[in-house]
């Protein structure tokens, strides 16, 4: 099932659940925004834009190649993500929270750069091409276990909590068509590019890339009531360890055994978010805020040819995503 179809049914399910809870909320008022809630469920939208880029060093295989030898940047990849969240608060100050999100891609650009060594041809950037990203998407899952470190003595209007968790985050890109932006003298002499302005395979799938992150999270979050129904929430997460796996398919290359480029490595990262919340009805809250994610890694890249494979250093592979958030939640 495609990410677009999954997002469609996921949204319908979440809205149906919240419609039932909306009617139930009228009869179950809570006096304070953050005190006494045992359970919460919500749906939110993340109007996000993201980027993934990676580059590697294959200069050991040829004196002509630079370092980096190639760099691919998937930039301005927009996605309207739908997220469903549930949280259980236990009497002993512990809590458990899970969320899952899906989104499709309909806009973005791939920049594909190839480099030569400066001592070989006088060039560094040999070739640059652009491709459109208009297909596939992302999904993620978070599971957190935490503890309330502090609650103020006045009706519990503020609190500070710590948590540890696991995050799975995947993004998959499909790039179509090739437009040559740069072709230097060295690139032209070696036959790795066409003159600037040339196009190739317009509308056809040329590159697919799927990146997967499995991460351990350490986080702090704070909540404060400003007025009777208005509050602020913020969280900061450090990712001390993330396992990265990335697969790249160059659909037009017949010299590769696809996926032609397979990357594995480890990295670190961070997330942060903040939001204003307002209780529009008893136990029913609207929120608006901002969220940012980033993970950076390095490792190895396996170039898988038809007749054999070679392994080179992966200088870095980074992913980030950020944007505005809006949501509705029920707390009981």
**Which residue, chain included where needed, has tokens 């359970």?**
39
In this predicted model, what pLDDT tens digit does every residue of 190-244 receive, in sequence order? 999 999 999 999 999 999 999 999 999 999 999 999 888 999 999 999 999 999 9
CA angle 292, 294, 298 (to 5 degrees): 175
**What average pLDDT does range 118-140 have in this prediction?**
88
The pLDDT value recorded for residue 118 is: 78
Q: Report percent pLDDT > 70 for the chain.
A: 87
User: Domain map of the chain by residue range?
Assistant: 3-331
The pLDDT value recorded for residue 56 is: 97
The pLDDT value recorded for residue 13 is: 53
In this predicted model, what pLDDT tens digit does every residue of 40-97 receive, in sequence order? 999 999 999 999 999 999 999 999 999 999 999 999 999 999 999 999 999 899 999 9
In this predicted model, what pLDDT tens digit does every residue of 10-54 receive, in sequence order? 555 555 554 544 444 444 444 455 556 789 999 999 999 999 999
In this predicted model, what pLDDT tens digit does every residue of 258-309 receive, in sequence order? 999 999 999 999 999 999 999 999 999 999 999 999 999 999 999 999 999 9
Interacting residues of 325 by C-beta distance below 8 A, sequence separation 6+: 44, 45, 46, 47, 273, 275, 287, 288, 289, 290, 291
**What average pLDDT does range 114-140 have in this prediction?**
89
In this predicted model, what pLDDT tens digit does every residue of 295-312 receive, in sequence order? 999 999 999 999 999 999
Interacting residues of 11 by C-beta distance below 8 A, sequence separation 6+: 43, 82
Classify residue 195 by burial, with Cβ atoms within 10 Å: 0-12, 13-18, 19+: exposed
SS (H, E, C) the chain: CCHHHHHHHHHHHHHHHHHHHHHHHCCCCCCCCCCCCCEEEEEEEEEEEEEEEEEECCHHHCCCEEEEEEEEEEEEEEEEEEEEEEEEECCCCEEEEEEEEEEECCEEEEEEEEEECHHHHCCCEEEEEEEEEEECEEEEEEEEEEEEEEECCCCCCEEEEEEEEEEEEEEEEEEEEEEEEEECHHHHHHCCCCCCCCEEEEEEEEEEEEEEEEEEEEEEEEEEECCCCEEEEEEEEEEEEEEEEEEEEECCCCCEEEEEEEEEEEEEEEEEEEEEEEEEECCEEEEEEEEEEEEEEEEEEEEEECCCEEEEEEEEEEEEEEEEEEEEEEEC
The pLDDT value recorded for residue 36 is: 60
Contact 189, 197 (CB under 8 A): no
The pLDDT value recorded for residue 155 is: 59
Nearest to 112 by CA among 133, 84, 96, 93: 133
The pLDDT value recorded for residue 2 is: 47
Tell me the pLDDT of the chain averaged across its residues. 90
**Which residue, chain included where needed, has tokens 């602020």?**
232
Question: Does residue 253 carry a pLDDT above 80?
Answer: yes
Q: Report percent pLDDT > 90 for the chain.
A: 79
- CATH 2.40.128.90 for the 3-331 domain, yes or no: yes
**What average pLDDT does range 99-122 have in this prediction?**
89
**Cβ neighbour number for residue 46 with a 10 Å cutoff:** 23
* CA of residue 213 relative to chain centroid, distance: 9
How far apart CA 141 and CA 48 sit, in angstroms, is 16
The pLDDT value recorded for residue 152 is: 83
């Amino acid at each position: 099932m495609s990410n677009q179809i999954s997002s469609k049914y996921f949204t319908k399910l979440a809205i149906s659940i919240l419609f039932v809870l909306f009617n139930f909320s009228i009869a179950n008022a809570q006096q304070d925004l953050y005190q006494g809630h045992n359970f919460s469920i919500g749906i939110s939208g993340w109007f996000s834009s993201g980027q993934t880029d990676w580059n590697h060093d294959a200069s050991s295989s040829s004196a002509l190649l630079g370092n980096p030898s190639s760099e691919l940047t998937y930039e301005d990849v927009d996605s309207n993500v739908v997220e469903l969240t549930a949280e259980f608060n236990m009497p002993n100050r512990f809590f458990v929270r899970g969320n899952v999100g899906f989104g499709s891609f309909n806009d973005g650009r791939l920049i594909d750069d190839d480099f030569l060594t400066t001592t070989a041809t006088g060039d560094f950037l040999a070739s640059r091409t652009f491709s459109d990203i208009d297909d596939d998407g992302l999904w993620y899952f978070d599971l957190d276990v935490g503890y309330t470190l502090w609650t103020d003595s006045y009706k519990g209007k503020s609190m500070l909590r710590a948590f540890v968790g696991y995050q799975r985050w995947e993004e998959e890109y499909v790039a179509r068509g090739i437009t040559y932006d740069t072709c230097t003298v060295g690139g032209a002499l070696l036959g790795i590019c066409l003159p600037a302005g040339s196009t190739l395979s317009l509308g056809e799938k040329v590159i697919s890339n799927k990146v997967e992150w499995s991460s351990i999270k350490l986080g702090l979050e704070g909540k404060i009531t400003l007025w009777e129904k208005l509050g602020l929430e913020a969280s900061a997460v450090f990712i001390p360890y993330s396992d990265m796996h990335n697969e790249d398919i160059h659909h037009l290359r017949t010299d590769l055994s696809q996926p032609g480029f397979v990357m594995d490595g480890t990295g670190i990262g961070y997330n942060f978010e903040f939001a204003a919340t307002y209780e529009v009805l008893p136990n029913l809250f609207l929120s608006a805020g901002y969220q940012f994610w980033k993970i950076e890694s390095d490792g190895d890249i396996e170039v898988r040819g038809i007749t054999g494979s070679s392994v080179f250093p992966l200088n870095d592979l980074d992913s980030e995503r950020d944007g505005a958030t809006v949501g509705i939640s029920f707390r009981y």
